[in-house]
Amino acid sequence: MVGGKAEDAGLRTDTIRAAIRAKYAEVAVSAAGKFAYPTGRAGAEALGYNPDAVRQAPPELLESFCGVGNPFLLAEIRPGAIVLDFGCGAGFDLFIASRLAGKNGRLFGADLTAEMVRRATENLSAAGVTNYEVTKIESEELPYHSGFFDVVISNGVINLSPDKQACFRELQRVLKPGGMLQFADVVQEDDLPAGTSDSPEAWSQ
């Protein structure tokens, strides 16, 4: 059999992920000029991040920041918390989480794009964060035990997932019972023009 439905869906997903990786490999160098909303330091300031934290963050940590909201406004992160940043990008939100979770906390980042994983690792080490681990992932399947995290944060990522049900299933699986999912994202309010949802360019704008 050639070109079955499942194969088509797999091909579509692979094409979308490849387009997203190509875009975010560039953003890992700098987010400047690549989005229709403020990014970098201006983005963090506009989104109401703690001004002291923004001031103290090394410039490299902010250079590729392209979050769409502020997950830290949704609930408190307690000292000692085990935190996952799903789609951690270059590590700015992990840096913020590390200030809240403290030395006894544990910070984990997962991202689809190798260049972002490298950038986050360099940035967090340069910022003096030691209790972190950043992992490149290939799909929505997460490499963590069930019930491991106190908090999952995510910022501008779930809208990029071609399989949102799998995404939410996995995020719920890795959270402890009673754990918090704190995410900021983009939502669709109106119907999309025909052909948009299958366009790799539209997914990676």
- The residue ranges that bind ligand SAM (CB under 6 A) are 20, 24, 65-67, 87-89, 92-93, 110-113, 116, 137, 140, 155-157, 160-161
Dist. CA 176–CA 50, nearest whole Å: 27
- Smallest distance, Å, CB 9 to ligand SAM? 15
What is the closest distance, in whole angstroms, from the C-beta atom of residue 16 to ligand SAM in the complex?
A: 9
Kindly state the smallest distance separating residue 20's Cβ from ligand SAM, in Å: 5
Token readout for 81 is 């918390």
Helices and strands per DSSP (H, E), number in the chain: 8, 5
Nearer to ligand SAM, 111 or 150 (CB): 111
What's the DSSP call for residue 127?
Answer: T
| Least distance in angstroms from the C-beta of 203 to ligand SAM | 9
101 vs 116, beta carbon nearer ligand SAM: 116
Q: Considering beta carbons, is residue 18 or 75 the nearer one to ligand SAM? A: 18
Diameter over CA atoms, the chain:
60
Q: Which residue is nearest to ligand SAM (CB)?
A: 89
Q: What DSSP string runs through 115-182?
A: HHHHHHHHHHHHTT--SEEEEE-SSS--SS-TT-EEEEEEES-GGG-S-HHHHHHHHHHHEEEEEEEE
Q: How far is the CB of 1 from ligand SAM (least distance, A)?
A: 29
Nearer to ligand SAM, 137 or 202 (CB): 137
Selection from 25, 28, 95 nearest residue 63 by Cα: 28
What residues pair up with 85 in beta bridges, in sequence order? 109, 153
Output the smallest distance, CB 174 to ligand SAM, in A: 13
CA of residue 71 relative to chain centroid, distance: 11
Pick 29 or 103: Cβ nearer ligand SAM: 29
Nearer to ligand SAM, 81 or 120 (CB): 120
Q: Name which of 98, 101, 141 is nearest 120 in CA terms.
A: 98
